[in-house]
């Protein structure tokens, strides 16, 4: 039996359509247009592509996109100055500083300079603390997108065994918090975990976020499990570049109950959730009710 493929691309289109509807209503009823500022330091080609896609989709849902492209040599003081101006700008409801930053910039310092209410990545320590204590936070986009797909596929997650492979601040840790918030029994596994295969085989929900191409084989997947593959790895195969996940899709699809593909799974949901977070931030800033179904 072959798993159901969870179509993240189609799901993301649905989320963006919902966001667009809210944005149109905000404009008509309140005269408010949500604004998202994206800051890119340096000329990393992959980052340029992501930032271009984000700007395009921001405009498509009816929001205003502010792009700030700064040279790689930008000083910390200059970058903090820009963040200060964006924090103070009432037309800007969301601020995203594209990571990774050039090595001479301290990304923790920069992220924590963002107004937590405008931190649509959910990386500010205040948002991390709010999420960890079950309070209203800005939730990191990738884990939020994964949660939306899991809830859609499984309905209730209550009591299920969830294993998150990867312990990053961007995906693994916040993903574990969200799953705990939905009453899963959560294990965070990583490269040093003893008998990782045995740990993975216990999972009703398996989230792979390690950044190692195809490292999780089908033999590690519990029959019928829901597999969310966060990895986006560019590899060379048969003389071509190819995008693959952290899960070996070909073998896992034969065992899982449902699985997200790469590309077309988690990636598109990340950008859709960035737009959802910007809308949420805009509603909160204006004392308006939050959009339903678009938050954790």
Ligand X SMILES: Nc1nc(=O)c2c([nH]1)NC[C@@H]1CN(c3ccc(C(=O)N[C@@H](CCC(=O)O)C(=O)O)cc3)C=[N+]21
98 in active site:
yes
Query: Does 270 interact with ligand X (rule: CB under 6 A)?
Result: yes
Question: Which of 18, 57, 98, 177 is an active site residue?
Answer: 98
**In this complex, which beta carbon is closest to ligand X, that of residue 54 or of residue 167?**
54
Please report which residue ranges of 247-296 form alpha helices under DSSP H: 249-252, 266-285
State the minimum distance, in angstroms, from the CB of residue 232 to ligand X: 5
Q: With binding defined as CB under 6 A, does residue 145 bind ligand X?
A: no
**251: which residues sit within 8 A by CB, 6+ positions away?**
217, 218, 219
DSSP annotation string for 149-182: HHHHHHS--TT-EEEEE---TTTHHHHHHHHHHT
Look up 30 and say whether it is catalytic.
Answer: no
Q: Answer yes or no whether residue 263 interacts with ligand X by CB under 6 A.
A: yes
Q: Which stretch binds ligand X (CB under 6 A): 61-69, 131-139, 261-269, 282-290?
A: 261-269
Stretch that binds ligand X, among 65-73, 78-86, 181-189, 268-276 (CB under 6 A): 268-276
H or E segment at 86? helix 76-88
Annotated binding site for NADP(+): 166-168, 232
Phi–psi pair at 116, nearest 5 degrees:
-55, -30
| Phi/psi of residue 107, nearest 5 degrees | -65, -35
- What gap in Å lies between CA 142 and CA 274, rounded to an integer? 9
Q: Does 229 bind ligand X (CB under 6 A)?
A: no
Residues within window 160-199 making contact with ligand X, judged by CB under 6 A: none
- Decide if residue 268 touches ligand X (CB under 6 A): yes
Q: Catalytic residue at 89?
A: no
**264 lies in the binding site for ligand X (CB under 6 A):** yes
Of 92-100, 101-109, 154-162, 210-218: span binding ligand X (CB under 6 A): 92-100
Nearest to ligand X of 141, 196 (CB atom) = 141
What are the beta bridge partners of residue 215?
A: none
- Alpha carbons 31 and 44: distance in angstroms, whole number: 37
| Residue tagged 């179509």 (tokens) | 7
State both tokens at 65: 């996109």
141 binds ligand X (CB under 6 A): yes
Q: Which of residues 40-69 bind ligand X (CB under 6 A)?
A: 50
- Inter-axis angle of helices 8-30 and 45-60, to 10 degrees? 50
Q: What is the largest CA-CA distance in the chain?
A: 57
CB of 80 to ligand X, least distance (A): 16
List residues binding ligand X (CB under 6 A): 50, 96-99, 121, 141, 232, 243, 262-264, 267-268, 270-271
Hey, which residues are catalytic here? 54, 98, 121
């Amino acid at each position: 039996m072959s798993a159901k493929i969870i179509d993240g691309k189609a799901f993301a289109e649905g989320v963006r359509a919902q966001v667009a509807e809210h944005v149109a209503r905000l404009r008509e009823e309140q005269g408010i247009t949500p604004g998202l500022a994206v800051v890119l330091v340096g000329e990393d080609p992959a980052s340029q592509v992501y930032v271009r896609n984000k700007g395009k989709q921001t405009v498509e849902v009816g929001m205003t996109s502010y792009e700030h492209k700064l040279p790689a040599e930008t000083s910390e003081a200059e970058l903090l100055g820009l963040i200060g101006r964006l924090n103070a700008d009432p037309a800007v409801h969301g601020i995203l500083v594209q990571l990774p930053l050039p090595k001479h910039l301290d990304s923790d310092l920069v992220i924590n300079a963002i107004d937590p209410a405008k931190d649509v990545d959910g990386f500010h320590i205040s948002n991390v603390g709010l999420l960890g204590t079950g309070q209203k936070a800005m939730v990191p986009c990738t884990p939020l997108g994964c949660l939306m797909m899991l809830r859609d596929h499984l309905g209730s997650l209550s009591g299920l065994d969830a294993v998150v492979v990867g312990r990053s601040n961007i995906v693994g840790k916040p993903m574990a918090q969200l799953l705990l918030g939905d009453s899963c029994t959560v294990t965070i596994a990583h490269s040093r975990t003893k008998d990782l295969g045995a740990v993975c085989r216990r999972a009703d929900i398996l989230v792979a976020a390690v950044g190692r191409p195809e490292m999780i084989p089908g033999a590690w997947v519990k029959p019928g499990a829901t597999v969310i593959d966060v990895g986006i790895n560019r590899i060379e195969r048969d003389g071509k570049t190819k995008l693959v996940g952290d899960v070996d899709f070909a073998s896992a699809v034969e065992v899982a109950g449902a699985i997200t593909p790469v590309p077309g799974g988690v990636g598109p949901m990340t950008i859709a959730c960035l737009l959802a977070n910007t809308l949420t931030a805009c509603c909160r800033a204006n004392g308006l009710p939050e959009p339903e179904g678009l938050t954790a």
